[in-house]
């Protein structure tokens, strides 16, 4: 089954300019507006949670959906329509625009290699969202490889095949007067589980309290024996470390598999692929004065 390229098209649209406070938008796939809203709200809940601390479609009332227009339009045109109507949206109403796309797409897949050490580190797998830095680097690599995007084509998906980086350590030794304290060390994980004690006795008492309060990790073959060490920690005054080590990336190689989609001219024409939703709070009183976002209890 062909995948839906509309999310990639919408991601390519810049953020809405001069958006009203509390405006949230989202996209749900499918021709049924209610099912599309459920999918968009579920994605918003996964991304932002559903407590109301961050404005999203997850906190919107599904009974307040109102289609703005029943004539589907391509995703970029819908995004521009949302931008034009944002300031005049009726508060408390979930406005919905149907999105259409060609009934069929042709696809080509290109394997590219990026070597810019300034690009953020990534892990193998599907890239869910491309920021401007990555999008620009991919377009430049496609141009350099002789496979540029042509009119009508979009980057539908990007998969990281491999990412390798080499770093150069930059060591800074802080000068100044030394200051020592004591800490409790878990030797099984080589982590400090409690720090900031003035004496070794304070640290020992804290270690006993940790063992009484709950399970601690163990060292050795006996799972009933917890091993905690008291260690002396030396730093500089003002809580500065003795040595600071920064890493500078000097080389990076990222291999990507890029899927590019283009509309296919068929007799079936266009089909409704999903809905774009926009919502603003019901009243200005529901917004936090400092952040202009809905209150957590809204």
Percent of the chain with pLDDT over 90: 23
Over residues 207-232, mean pLDDT: 77
What are the tens digits of pLDDT across the range 73-126? 888 788 888 888 888 888 889 999 998 877 677 889 999 999 988 888 888 998
**Residue 106, beta-bridge partner list:** 262
Tell me what pLDDT residue 120 has.
82
Cα distance between residue 283 and residue 146, in whole Å: 53
What is the pLDDT at residue 230?
Answer: 93
Identify the pLDDT of residue 283: 62
Its sign, for the CA torsion 181, 182, 187, 191, is negative
Question: Which pLDDT belongs to residue 130?
Answer: 76
More confident residue, 170 or 71: 170
The confidence score (pLDDT) of residue 292 equals 45
Dihedral over Cα of 232, 234, 239, 241: its sign: negative
State yes or no: pLDDT of 141 exceeds 70. Answer: yes
Q: Where exactly are the structural domains of the chain?
A: 6-104+265-286, 110-162+249-262, 175-240
Give the mean pLDDT of 192-210. 90
Residue 32 in this model has a pLDDT that exceeds 80: yes
Is the pLDDT score of 286 beyond 70? no
Instruction: Answer yes or no: is pLDDT of 237 > 60.
Output: yes
pLDDT attached to residue 210: 83
At 293 the pLDDT is 47
Structural contact between residues 220 and 197, judged by C-beta atoms closer than 8 angstroms: no
Beta-bridge partner residues of 173: 243
> pLDDT tens digits, residue range 241-264?
888 888 888 899 999 999 998 877
What pLDDT is stored for residue 62 in this prediction?
A: 83
Cα dist from 277 to 30, 102, 178, 226, whole Å: 13, 21, 59, 54
What average pLDDT does the chain have? 81
Averaging pLDDT over each range in 34-43, 80-89, 215-224, which range is the top one?
Answer: 34-43
Residue 167's nearest CA partner among 245, 248, 252, 253 is 248
pLDDT of residue 46: 77
pLDDT value, residue 281: 83
The residue among 90 and 188 whose pLDDT is bigger is: 90
């Amino acid at each position: 089954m062909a995948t839906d390229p509309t999310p990639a098209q919408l991601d390519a649209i810049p953020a809405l300019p001069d958006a009203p406070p509390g405006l949230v938008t989202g996209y749900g796939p499918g021709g049924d507006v209610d099912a599309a809203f459920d999918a968009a709200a579920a994605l918003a809940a996964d991304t932002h949670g559903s407590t109301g601390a961050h404005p999203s479609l997850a906190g919107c009332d599904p009974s307040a959906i109102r289609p703005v227009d029943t004539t589907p339009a391509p995703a970029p045109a819908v995004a521009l329509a949302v931008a034009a109507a944002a300031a005049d949206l009726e508060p408390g109403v979930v406005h919905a625009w149907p999105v259409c796309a060609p009934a069929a797409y042709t696809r080509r897949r290109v394997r590219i290699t990026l070597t810019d050490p300034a690009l953020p580190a990534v892990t193998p797998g599907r890239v869910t969202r491309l920021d401007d830095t990555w999008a620009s680097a991919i377009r430049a690599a496609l141009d350099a490889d002789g496979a540029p995007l042509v009119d009508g084509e979009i980057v539908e998906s990007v998969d990281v095949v491999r990412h390798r980086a080499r770093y150069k350590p930059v060591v800074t030794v802080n000068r100044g007067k030394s200051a020592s304290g004591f800490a409790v060390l878990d030797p099984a994980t080589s982590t400090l589980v409690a720090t900031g004690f003035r004496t070794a006795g304070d640290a020992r008492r804290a270690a006993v309290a940790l063992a009484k309060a709950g399970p601690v990790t163990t060292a050795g073959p006996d799972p009933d024996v917890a091993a905690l060490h008291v260690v002396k920690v030396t730093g500089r005054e003002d809580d500065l470390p003795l040595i600071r080590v920064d890493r500078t990336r000097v080389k990076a190689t990222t291999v990507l598999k890029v899927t590019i989609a283009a509309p296919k001219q068929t007799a079936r024409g266009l089909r409704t692929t999903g809905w774009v939703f926009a919502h603003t709070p019901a009243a200005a009183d529901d917004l936090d004065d400092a952040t202009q976002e809905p209150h957590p209890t809204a």
